[in-house]
Structure 1
Amino acid sequence: MNRIARCVRHGLALSLIGLLSTACAPSWVKPPELQAGTEQNRLLALTHWRLEGRVAIQAHGEGVNANLYWEHDGRQDRVRLSGPFSQGAVSVVLQDDLIYLNEGNGNIRSSRDPEELLKDRLGFSVPLRELRYWVLGLPSPRGAPAYVSVAGVAGEVRSFSQQGYSLTYERFARVKEFDLPQKLSAQGRELKLKLIVDEWVLN
């Protein structure tokens, strides 16, 4: 049984994978300073949202698929991944730089270094603190992104690079007044993450 498959079975699989493409020719611009009232600022101001979807991850030549539930509530993120019929579920609670990892059977671990804990348990690092913004289609404020590709009538961000990862957004869904990612990918040196969002809920 490969390492990632073992992790899923014991409740240890974590988040998102890579698709590529842009339908129309993008324009490349330096990341602008966010202006008050822009959609990016309004997205950053959201305090409650959740998504449900499917995630795939590849690392070190191995791969696994999982169902994903992600809820953001103020300064806390709750992430749950599971296999078919909710088998091998793992739950993660992220509060700023503090992470709680529930592997099931009452086995809960915590750390002030989220990436290091995930690397210890999974064999590779997952940038959860950045993903909290990337799933919304935004660069993380934790570090400046490289050049950003913008396309579409609404000028959606189609791709950017940050923290050693290349982000690509293939499809968006209109949710209330926002265009939110429906299909996205993140590719780094150690892993590729791909996410398909089936449902967005904004509160």
Structure 2
Amino acid sequence: MRQTARTLLAALPLFLLTACATTRDPVRNVGDAATLGMQEQRERSLADTDHWTLQGKLSVSDGKDSNSGSLTWRQDGERYEFTVRGPITGRTFRLTGGPDGADLEGLDGGTRHGADAESLMASTVGWQIPLGELKRWALGLRADTGPAEMTFGADRLPSRLIQDGWTVDYKTWDATRQPAMPARVFAEKAPYKVRLAIEDWSFAK
């Protein structure tokens, strides 16, 4: 069944792998006092942000196969709904769950259940996505899973975050928001890659 799912996903185009190119200043530094103060302020303002919706595109790769699609990610505290739709086939995969486990809909043979989102996606469609950490990384925050190393760009916004063996590059930011929010997020832990092209953020009040 996993092979069937991966075969279906392999039909999706790889447009996001090239569409996410950016010209953001690649200069990285550990940050001076002002830069670190800005980041601390961002982290304080977003620390309790766990009710939001992200709209955009997702691309995943295991070093051999790459797949992509449109993404709607709704986070409601510890519960989530992660929906990916193929741009050509229109096939939809919907991952939902929380502390009590995860369910993946859209596969041939019906819904699959797993203890957590990461292991369920890996065993069914071969996707390696650190969803628990990514929900914080997508906000430009460090996850609470262990030590993290962060560097900044010339705009004083995070440029790279290294945590749990993953390297997270922030390619572009939407500085029109207060606080600024990531717009392109590339996460890599060889051979796996996860790329987010974020088109819109909305936050529950």
TM-score (norm 2): 0.79
- The Cα RMSD (Å) is 3.3
C-alpha separation between the residues in 2 aligned to 1:60 and 1:9? 13
Q: Deviations over 1:76-97 (max 9, x none)?
A: 1111001126711101113136
Q: Which one-letter code corresponds to 1:149 in the other structure?
A: T
> Of 105, 116, 119, which aligns to 1:116?
119
Counterpart amino acid of residue 171 in structure 1: T
Number of aligned residues = 194
Distance in 2 between residues matched to 1:128 and 1:94, nearest whole Å: 11
For residues 5-24 of structure 1, what are the structure 2 equivalents within 5 Å?
Answer: 6-8=7-9, 22-23=24-25
Q: Cα offset for 1:73?
A: 1.3
Deviations 1:126-168 (CA, angstroms, capped at 9, x unpaired): 21111111111112112221x2102344x32110111211100
Is 2:184 the counterpart of 1:171? Answer: no
Out of 42-51 and 91-100, give the one that drifted further.
91-100
Q: What is aligned with 1:160? A: 161
Deviation at 1:22, TM superposition (A): 5.0
Partner of 2:56: 53
Distance in 1 between residues matched to 2:179 and 2:85, nearest whole Å? 28
1:25 counterpart (10, 27, 30): 27
Residue segments in structure 1 that go unaligned for 5+ positions in a row: 11-15
> After the TM superposition, which residues 123-162 of structure 1 pair with which residues of structure 2 at under 5 Å, given as runs?
123-145=126-148, 147-153=149-155, 155-162=156-163
Q: Which runs of 4+ in 1 moved over 6 A?
A: 16-21
What is aligned with 2:187? 186
Structure number with the higher strand fraction is 1
- 2:111 aligned partner, one-letter code: I
TM-score (norm 1): 0.80
Residue 13 of structure 1 is matched in structure 2 by: none
Gaps of 5+ in 2: none
- The structure with the largest helix share of the pair is 2
